Chains A and B, each alone.
Chain A
Amino acid sequence: MDSVSFLRAALQAGTPLLFATLGEILTEKAGNLNLGVEGLMLLGAVGGFAAGLATQSALVAIIVAALCGAVGGLLYAVLTVTLQANQVVTGLALTIFGTGVSGYAGRFLMGDIIPSSIRNTFRTIPIPLLSEIPFFGEIVFQQNIFVYCGIALAILMGLYFSKTKQGLNLRTVGENPSAADASGIPVTTYKYIHIIIGSAISALGGAYLSLVSVPAWQENITAGRGWIAVALVIFSMWSPYRAIFGAYLFGGLDIIGFRLQQTGFALSQHLIGMFPYLITILVLVISSIMKRRQYAPTSLGEPYFREDR
C-alpha cells in the first residue's frame, strides 16, 4: 500500500468531516448541541449540487450550499434560542427535515453529474515549493482547494476562539450565559450568529460530498457522516486544531478497509467503521474518569432564559 497516496486520500475523505465538525464546534461553543448536522450536510449537499448543475459555477454552488445550511441553522436557532425548545429533539427534527428535503429534491437530480467546469475548479492544485517537501508536502500540499480551505478554516477558528474579543465572549456565552449576559454580552445575538454560521460551515461538508467526492447525486449521500462529526467534536475536545487531526484520522478509517482488501488483508470495513464511535466513547469515558476540566461548554444543551438567572 502506497502510504503517500493513502494519506492523501485520507485527507480528502476527512475534509467533509472537518467542515461538519468545525461547524458543530462553533455551534456548541455557543452552548447549543445541534444533532442536526446530518440534516445540515444533506441540505448543503443537495443545494450545492442543484445550484452547481443549474449555473455551472463552483462559487454559486458553494454559496447556495452554505445558504441552505444557514437556513437550517436559522430554523434551529429560532426554535432553541428564542422559543426555548429542547435542543436534542430540535436537532433530530432538523436531521429528519434535511433527510426529507434532500430525498425529495434528489429525486429530480438522479443520474445527473457535476459539470466539468466545476470539477475543474476542484482539481488537485499543488502548491509550488511546499508540495515538493518530501512526504509531508506531498500529502498536504497536493490537494484541491476544498482541502486547503478546511485547514485554513480550522486555524482561523482556533485563532478566533483564543485571540479575539468576540471569540472570548462566545466562550463565555457557552460556559455561563447568565454571567455573559450580566457583563453586557448580547447572548441571543451571539447564539444566533454562531449557530447560523456554524450550520453553514457544516453544510459545506455536505457540499464537498456531492460536488467533489462523488460527484453525482446519491440518495442519502452523507451516509451517517454527520453523526461522525458529532463524535469528532467530542474526540477533538472542542478544539478546531485537534479537529483537523481527528477528521483526517476518521477519514482514513473510512477508506482503510477498502485499501486493506486490495492488499489481501481482510479486516471487515464494517468493523473498522465502528472505530470512530468506539474511540469517541473511549475519549468520553476517559475524560470523565480523569475528572479533568470538562471540555464541553458548561451550558451545552441547556436553554438560556434571562429571568431564570
Chain B
Amino acid sequence: MIRISKRAEMPQRKKWIVRLLGIVLALVVMSFFFLFLGHNPLEVYQTLITGSLGNYNRFARTIEFVIPLSLSALGIMIAFKMKFWNIGAEGQIVVGAIAATYIALNFSELHTVLLLSTMFIVAALAGGIYAFIPAFFKVKFNTNETLFTLMLNYIALRLVVYLQYGPWRDPGARGFPKIANFSQNARLPDIFGIHAGWIILIIVFALVYLLMNKSKLGYEIAVIGESQKTANYAGMNVSKVILIALFLSGALSGIVGMLQVSGVNYTLSRQVSGGMGFTAIIIAWLSQIKVVLVPIVAFFFAMLVQGATFIRTAFQIPQSIAEVLQATVLFFALGSEFFINYKLHFEKKAKGRVQNG
C-alpha cells in the first residue's frame, strides 16, 4: 500500500538533487532510444555539447537562442508570479515583430540609432498592449486568461501570414511570398559576434530582478500571487497591479519580436517566433518563477536546439529529435517536482491496526 502525503519544505540542496536526477533519468531514457537507432548515446550527447559550445561561433549561435528564450520567459514569469496564466508569449512576440517591421520598412531612411530605438519602443508597446487586452478582460469581467491569451497567439500568427502574402509582400521577390529584407539601418549591429540583444538581455535581467525583489510593484505582484484576498485586504489596487504587470510581461516578449527581426532574420516571416513563446513558458515554469534561474534553464534549452542541428548532420538523425529530447526532459522535470512536494510512504497493509492517515 502506498500512501502519499505532502512533505515539509525540502532543503534547497536536496531539491536540486531530485531535479538533476530527473534530468539524468530523461537522458538515460533517451539513451536507450539512441541505442535502438544504432547510435552510441554518449557520442550523441557529446556532439550535442560540442555542437552548441564547441567553438566561439557555435557558442554565439547558442546565445542567440538564449536571448529570446530568456527575455520571453522573464516576461511570462512576471505574470505567472500572480498566477495569471499568460500563455500568449508567442503572439506577443509576433505582434512585436510586426510593429518593428512596420517601422523598419516605412522609415528605413532614419538614422540607425533613431530607427532601432523607435522599433524597440514600438515593439515593446505592441507586445504590451497585446497582453494588456486579456488582462483588462480578466480584471473587468473575470474572463479566462489562459484561453484568451492562447487564442491571441493564433490571431497574431495569421496576421503575419496575411501580411506576408498580402499587403507587405515584396514585389521585388520575383513572386516569392516574402516580406522585403530590412535596410542596413534597421539591422541590429553585432557586438562580439552576437547581435546586440545580449546587452538588452543583461539590462532587462537586472531590471526584472530589481522589479521582482526590490520594488513595491514586485512586492504587490508577489502578494497577489499568494492571495488576491490578502492583497485586497492590504489595500492594494489589485486590478491596477495586474494591468501594469501584464503590460510589462507582454512588452518583454514584444522586444523579443523586434530582436528576432532586426538581429537574426532581417525580415519578418511566420517563423519569427517558431514556438519560442511556448518554450519560454516551460522555461519560466522550470525556473520555479525565480529570475536568476531563467537564463540558466534557457541556456540548457538553447543548447538542445542548437546542438540538435549538429546531431542531424553527424548522425543523420532528423532534427525533430530535438523536440523529442526536449519533451522527454520536460516530462521528467515535471514529474520530479512531485517528489519534492510529496512523500511516498510504503506501508504494509496493517490489519487490526488503527490507521491515522
Contact = CB atoms under 8 A, between A and B. Distances in A.
Interface of A: 33, 35, 75, 78-79, 82-86, 88-90, 92-97, 99-104, 106-107, 224, 227-228, 230-231, 234, 268, 270-271, 273-274, 277-278, 280-281, 284-285, 288-289, 291, 296, 301, 305, 307
B20 interface: no
Nearest to B91: A277
Which of A94, A227, A231, A274 has the most C-beta atoms of chain B within 10 angstroms of its own C-beta? A274
Given A92-B281, A96-B326, A270-B158, A284 B335 contact: no
Contact of A268 (B142, B143, B146, B165): B165
B263 to A, nearest CB: 25
A103 B320 contact: yes
B278 interface: yes
**6 shortest interchain CB distances as A-B pairs:** A100-B323, A103-B320, A97-B327, A100-B324, A270-B162, A83-B338
B6 interface: yes
5 contacts: A83-B335, A84-B338, A84-B341, A85-B335, A288-B143
B282 A100 contact: no
B184 interface: no
Contact of A288 (B144, B153, B318, B319): B144
Contact of A86 (B141, B154, B285): B285
B300 interface: no
A307 B318 CA distance: 45
A86 B324 CA distance: 19
Contacts of B279: 96
A234 B147 contact: yes
B356 interface: no
B330 interface: yes
B334 A86 contact: yes
Contact of B152 (A75, A85, A281): A281
Nearest to B341: A84
Contacts of A270: 158-159, 161-162, 165-166
B209 interface: no
Q: At the interface, is chain B mostly helix, strand, loop or mixed?
A: helix
B326 A274 contact: no
B264 interface: no
Contacts of A277: 151-152, 154-155, 158
Given A93-B334, A273-B158, 5 more contacts: A33-B146, A75-B331, A96-B330, A99-B320, A278-B155
A100 B327 contact: yes
A99 B323 contact: yes
Given A96-B327, A97-B323, A100-B327, A274 B337 contact: no
B160 to A, nearest CB: 9
Nearest to B322: A100
Nearest to B142: A288
B281 A88 contact: yes
Nearest to B316: A107
A217 to B, nearest CB: 13
Contact of A35 (B150, B323, B327): B150
Nearest to A39: B327
A94 B327 contact: yes
A270 B166 CA distance: 9
B338 A104 contact: no
Contacts of A271: 158, 162
Interface in B264-323: 275, 278-279, 281-282, 285, 318-323
Nearest to B37: A104
Contacts of B322: 100
A271 B144 CA distance: 24
B176 interface: no
B55 interface: no
A174 B165 CA distance: 44
Contacts of A234: 147
Interface string B128-162: 00000000010001111011101111110111011
Contact of A285 (B141, B325, B338, B341): B141
A230 B147 contact: yes
A284 B143 contact: yes
B56 interface: no
A104 B315 CA distance: 13
B166 A268 contact: yes
